[in-house]
Amino acid sequence: MDIRRARRSDAAAVAAFTEETWAHGDYAADVFEGWVESDGADRRTLVAADEADEAVGVVQGVLLSEHEAWVQGLRVAPDARGSGTGSALLEAALDWAAERGAAVARCMVFSWNVQGLGGTRAVGFEPTCEFRWIHPEPDAGATPVGDVRDDPDAAWAFWSRSAARDRLAGLALDDDEPWALAELTRERLHEAAREDRLLVCHEAGVGTRGVALRARTDGLADGERAEYAVAAWRDGAACRDVLAAVARDAAAQDAEEARVLIPETARAVSDVATARVDVGDEPDFVLTCDLSART
């Protein structure tokens, strides 16, 4: 088995062995060629190739910042599973990230993917946090109590002492890379404010009650989806205000749907349920690998 850089000519093999990864389909075949075309200094798509040089596994590493890497899309052909192929791909992606200066690498694994969780733990990833998606309906008429500001310093002050930050280990959905989580820094909040993506719920006499950060809007076949990197709030009433601000903002983006990342806690999820906003069925897990020993 050889671990090498992916080629566009590997697309057919990747499509074939990912066709039945999950009953509800797999995005890997759809994005593979785009991954290969975008490979460069900050990202690398790797495949495991058999003796005939046919791809039997795939993974991608991405640099999210000078010190953070993200590993995604690990897939192994059914016939190659149990042979160490997945571990070899992960090790190669981690080595690539470490060589480019990353201090940590993270990945996301669906909570129900027991095999994936075991495989990532086996190569040195450790559990970091859990999150869940929620889905407020875009609503131009949603009205939060108080006003909604774009004050990044107020947002940072609230975020830095929030329970959400603690439970998410300081992470939020990355602004550029779909499905990746990166550190939510003061600089990111200032950039979001400049780009009119920051929502800070404020009430006179109370102060900041919650924050949300729009990461992007993604085109879908039936419209646009607004994605929010994170939402955090003080209490149940503040949750309703933050989600009202998100619903109004999503409508202003002409989005037909929205999803928001929140920490997987009983309080956060039940606050959302009390606000009568749809909650995703399953949490997702983020794991982190320390790369310092590889340099």
| Sequence ranges of the domains in the chain | 2-102, 132-280
DSSP 208-253: EEEEEEEEEEEEETTEEEEEEEEEEESSHHHHHHHHHHHHHHHHHT
Band of pLDDT at residue 3, cut at 50, 70 and 90? very high
Count Cβ atoms below 10 Å from residue 176 Cβ, excluding itself: 10
In this prediction, residue 221 carries a pLDDT of 45
Residue with tokens 């069925």: 281
Residue pLDDT, tens place only, 97-156: 999 999 999 999 999 889 889 999 999 999 999 999 999 999 999 999 999 999 999 999
- Predicted pLDDT of residue 25: 57
Question: Would the pLDDT of 44 be above 90?
Answer: yes
Query: The whole model's pTM is what?
Result: 0.92
Least confident of 31-40, 120-129, 150-159, 222-231: 222-231
Name the residue among 141, 146, 41 with its Cα closest to residue 96. 41
Q: Which fold has domain 2-102?
A: Aminopeptidase (3.40.630)
pLDDT bin (cut points 50, 70, 90) of residue 29 is confident
C-beta separation of 163 from 265 below 8 A: yes
- Measured CA to CA, the distance from residue 18 to residue 199 in angstroms comes to 39
How many degrees, rounded to 5, is the angle at CA 281 between CA 217 and CA 192?
A: 25
251, pLDDT greater than 70: yes
Q: Candidates 1.10.150.120, 3.40.50.1370, 3.40.630.30, 3.20.20.240; correct CATH number of 132-280?
A: 3.40.630.30
Q: Fold match between 2-102 and 132-280?
A: yes
pLDDT at 219 over 60: no
Lowest mean pLDDT among 26-30, 91-95, 196-200, 224-228: 26-30
The residue-averaged pLDDT of 212-231 equals 82
Residue 185 has a pLDDT of 98
- The three-state secondary structure class of 84 is coil
Q: Greatest CA separation found in the chain?
A: 70
Residue 247: CB atoms within 10 A of its CB come to: 24
The answer to whether the beta carbons of residues 71 and 125 sit under 8 Å apart is: no
The average confidence (pLDDT) of the chain is: 93
What pLDDT is attached to residue 295? 76
**How does DSSP assign 123-178, residue by residue?**
TT-EEEEEEEEEEPPP-TT---SSEEE--HHHHHHHHHT-HHHHHTTTEEE-SSST
